[in-house]
């Protein structure tokens, strides 16, 4: 399956601009032959996180914000992952949603590991660690940004059979080593693909690390540079998954009785 990851310029310029960015990325992804587009964390709303700029992007799964995204998926016959501030029962979540090419919701994940006092003051943490769905013969999973820095979170997906882990992110400088080092390591040690889509640029004194990455279970990876918008196109190959899992048997060789949580 061919996928595309959007590296977008940061900025909190409102819902209309977010949707325009998404539409442009979806068009480019479809032209590149991608079947799935992954966008950065809170791609509908924008980064850095400021409630004054996020208000119009907040909404439930069945709200008008997500309906606009559904229309883009249908327009380009493309599955896509977008982030947005999800409202539900008076709570606000940092969420990611996988939408089918027909505009149907395939999966919703709420960020479980909130980063720093700002996020913890703004959002309610999600309570479901492993969210999966099937698409085009692969098992897809979702995490968001800081989640992937916890090896247990990614290993749980590996143990549950996730083939491709989709990770919208908002990684800031100077922690670019997370994209360059940790993400490929997570893919290798848990024997799955990871698609890690990040923001780039500087806004309000906050700089984003770029380095949007697709890491494979055999140790290979592709990445964009730190600076500049772009679209990373990569192929997720079931045969690479099969060979890597046969050669590197971490999941079978675990001895969890020796390191209980």
| pLDDT tens string 119-130 | 999 999 999 999
Instruction: Look up the pTM and report it.
Output: 0.96
pLDDT at 12: 65
Domain of residue 32, CATH code: 3.60.110.10
pLDDT at 157: 98
The answer to whether residue 224 is domain-embedded is yes
Round to the nearest angstrom and report the end-to-end CA distance of the chain: 35
pLDDT at 119: 92
- Of 10, 58, 66, 145, the catalytic one is 145
Q: Give how many domains the chain has, as a whole number.
A: 1
- Of 5, 10, 41, 68, the catalytic one is 41
The answer to whether residue 141 is domain-embedded is yes
The answer to whether residue 20 is domain-embedded is yes
Write out pLDDT tens, residues 100-115.
Answer: 999 999 999 999 999 9
Q: Which domain covers residue 141, as residue numbers?
A: 2-253
pLDDT at 258: 96
The answer to whether residue 258 is domain-embedded is no
The answer to whether residue 261 is domain-embedded is no
55 catalytically annotated: no
The mean per-residue pLDDT over the stretch 21-33 comes to 97
- Of 58, 66, 68, 111, the catalytic one is 111
Write out pLDDT tens, residues 182-218.
Answer: 999 999 999 999 999 999 999 878 899 999 999 999 9
The answer to whether residue 242 is domain-embedded is yes
Cis-peptide into 43, omega within 30 deg: no
Triad 210, 213, 214: Cα angle to 5°: 165
The answer to whether residue 68 is domain-embedded is yes
Residue 95 phi, psi (nearest 5): -120, 160
Phi-psi region of 138 (alpha: psi -120 to 50; beta: other; left: phi over 0): beta
The answer to whether residue 260 is domain-embedded is no
Give the other-Cβ count within 10 Å of 70's Cβ. 17
CA distance 109 to 83: 9
Write out pLDDT tens, residues 56-95.
Answer: 888 999 999 999 999 999 999 999 999 999 999 999 999 9
């Amino acid at each position: 399956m061919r996928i595309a990851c959007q590296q977008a310029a940061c900025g909190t310029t409102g819902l209309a601009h977010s949707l325009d960015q998404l539409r442009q990325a979806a068009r480019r992804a479809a032209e590149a032959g991608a079947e799935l587009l992954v966008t950065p964390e809170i791609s509908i709303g924008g980064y850095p996180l400021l409630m004054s700029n996020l208000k119009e992007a907040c909404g439930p799964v069945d709200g008008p914000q997500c309906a606009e995204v559904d229309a883009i998926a249908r327009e380009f016959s493309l599955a896509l992952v977008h982030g947005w501030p999800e409202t539900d029962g008076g709570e606000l979540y940092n969420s990611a949603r996988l939408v089918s090419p027909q505009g149907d919701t395939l999966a919703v994940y709420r960020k479980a590991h909130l980063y720093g006092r700002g996020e913890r003051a703004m959002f309610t943490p999600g309570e479901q660690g492993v969210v999966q769905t099937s698409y085009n013969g692969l098992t897809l999973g979702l995490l968001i940004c800081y989640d992937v820095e916890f090896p247990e979170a990614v290993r749980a997906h590996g143990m549950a059979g996730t083939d491709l882990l989709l990770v919208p992110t908002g990684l800031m400088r100077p922690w670019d080593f997370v994209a360059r080092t940790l993400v490929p390591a997570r893919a290798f040690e848990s024997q799955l693909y990871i698609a890690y889509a990040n923001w780039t640029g500087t806004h309000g004194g906050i700089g984003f690390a770029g380095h949007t990455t697709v890491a494979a279970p055999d140790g290979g990876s592709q990445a964009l540079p730190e600076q500049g918008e772009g679209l990373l196109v990569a192929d997720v190959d079931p045969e690479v998954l099969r060979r890597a899992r046969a050669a590197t048997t971490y999941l079978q060789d675990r001895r969890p009785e020796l390191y209980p949580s």
